[in-house]
Chains A and B, each alone.
Chain A
């Protein structure tokens, strides 16, 4: 039984740390479904959001092995329902006058934004849950997609009144 798990990992903001963490996943035969990295409010700390899937034992091992890495400060683990997750996607598509109105309609319903446009091409931006992004891609299946760039999932645990740092 494969489950999905989201790991929010705070690491030392140093050269080589990303490769150590991603190397751990490949060496131990763990999946990376998505990986996003960025600095936090503390410039010495980077935050990595890793989405992985596997059986319960593998998911537990991932957390333990991450904790074992000496550049890892803290690992928080949650399921999709325990967190708010977002992904940013930029998508360049080719349009024509027959489908332009439909595209704009879909964008409006999906809360996607057209951020750039030329005579035959437009770029659409969406910031949404990974599920909604999957849905948008599905909606555009009939349109010719030129290029797609995605950030990977970012996630934080849902707010609770007993937050701990």
Chain B
């Protein structure tokens, strides 16, 4: 057995079903060994997307996604995907081939110091120096990636280590890391304080972030909110923790969020922040939620997130699911019905100020119609930019999931992430929605859907601009547009045809219902182009 055989065996023991990647000499021993395995290999078109696909799979399966690329440019190309996963705490294992270990540091062909380069984007990294260490390292890597605050772990494996014979293969049952013991159970005294606080509260609100999904706590959160009658808002990464139509759900917060969601945060006397970083896009002025006029209860599995952006009155470190279970079972009998009524009134009174042109597709209405027609439980992957904000503001979601690159805001995420999500759950309807900028960043992956027989449903909201930046320049630089016009865009009908996709087009909202129906029921790969007003903005004038 060689090191490469051992890697494959370790992945099998970990239950890995798919590996996304791109070969090169330095990873060839691994891709040779995997030929004898049932693990499915998915050849991508550029390495960054291998990480996005692994991310899409991980977010649906809950287990680390795996990608494997070669040394040098293969490894450096994957960095943006790793950083994207790191920012959203997505569990992932990245295996990189490396030049012969004797040549390390001599700048030979396709050598890159990848463990050094990714240091600030990974939860941990390894450079393997002896094949005998592989089982222990891989066991540790999966453990680290999928526990505590989840995240990417990179394993850099020189080619000679992949070829080195392994004396005896032993996969450890458990890891022993003296430096890593994540807190899972919430501190009892702190939980008691939370209960006490909630019993005195008049206007509590739960603000849920992506951590709720990462700890698989969405059902528990709904139960807690319903049982105690506490209203819920979410960050972008938390969209879908409650069905959007749920009476206790009051939308997304933040500078692109719903005004009534932000008002709810401002008016609340107790904020229960769960699995959210309190980053700038969600909470623009953290001093307002931790100014002594309200109690901020901050729950997170990562102690460093608590107090980083906002001072919390009651810090509570632990896994959201286990803490919420305790809170649901606790005696909180305060009556918040007046507060819920007040918020419901605000939500009802809200009138969107959009005045879309009837000559174009109204992306807000389009997202509402599309997601209303999608099967409950399906997966909606939003790219980055205006399309993402329209998606977040208008999505109708029940038991399904919305995936997007929230922390890093990586354009081009939607198409590869949708492929990974579809592979994780082939029976779930999966739709990727992007703009014409993000689409062209990941267009090459249409071939990956075709090659590996994965169904693609892609919507391109096309306005001929990098719309989010155009909008920023509209407001900030008085329409002095720089670097935002996408001249030279390809004919998407021809692109669809070239990849063997069905092609649909919407020029305005007149036929939207019929076209959406056709799009969703299409059994083949399908691309739907929607022509959007280039002047349309996500922030009303």
Chain A interface (Cβ within 8 Å of chain B)?
Answer: 12, 16, 19-20, 23, 27, 57, 60-61, 64-65, 67-73
Contact = CB atoms under 8 A, between A and B. Distances in A.
Interface string B240-263: 000000000000000000000000
B120 A57 contact: no
B115 A16 contact: yes
Interface stretch (B60-68, B172-180, B320-328, B509-517): B172-180
Contacts of B180: 70
Interface stretch (B72-80, B95-103, B213-221, B301-309): B301-309
B527 to A, nearest CB: 40
Contact of A23 (B119, B178, B302): B119
A13 to B, nearest CB: 12
B304 A67 contact: yes
Contacts of A16: 115-116, 127
Nearest to A68: B304
A70 B307 contact: no
B307 A60 contact: yes
A73 B302 contact: no
B144 interface: yes
A20 B119 contact: yes
Contacts of B144: 70
Interface of B: 115-116, 119-120, 123-124, 127, 144, 177-180, 302-304, 307-308, 311
A61 B178 contact: no
Nearest to B302: A68
A57 B307 contact: yes
Contacts of A73: 178-179
Contact of B179 (A23, A57, A71): A71
B304 A64 contact: yes
Contacts of A68: 302-304
A60 B119 CA distance: 22
A71 B123 CA distance: 11
15 contacts: A12-B179, A16-B116, A16-B127, A19-B119, A23-B119, A61-B304, A61-B308, A64-B304, A64-B308, A68-B303, A68-B304, A69-B179, A70-B124, A70-B179, A70-B180
Nearest to B311: A57
Contacts of B116: 16, 19
Contacts of B304: 61, 64-65, 67-68
A135 B93 CA distance: 53
B180 to A, nearest CB: 5
Nearest to B307: A60
The 6 A-B pairs with the shortest beta carbon distances in the complex, nearest first, are A64-B304, A70-B124, A27-B120, A68-B304, A73-B179, A70-B180
Given A23-B120, A70-B144, 9 more contacts: A16-B127, A57-B307, A61-B307, A61-B308, A64-B307, A64-B308, A67-B303, A69-B179, A72-B179
Nearest to A16: B115
Contacts of A64: 303-304, 307-308
A6 B400 CA distance: 49
A104 B123 CA distance: 54
A70 B120 contact: no
A67 B305 CA distance: 12
Contacts of B127: 16
A69 B180 CA distance: 9
B405 to A, nearest CB: 21
Contacts of A72: 179
Nearest to A45: B178
Of A64, A65, A67, A70, most buried by chain B (CB within 10 Å of CB) is A70
Contacts of A60: 307
Of B124, B178, B179, B311, most buried by chain A (CB within 10 Å of CB) is B179
A70 B177 contact: yes
A57 B144 CA distance: 27
A120 B116 CA distance: 46
A23 B307 CA distance: 22
B113 to A, nearest CB: 10
A61 B302 CA distance: 12
Nearest to B306: A64
A71 B308 CA distance: 21
A65 B305 CA distance: 9
A20 B118 CA distance: 11
A131 to B, nearest CB: 31
Nearest to A12: B179
A34 to B, nearest CB: 22
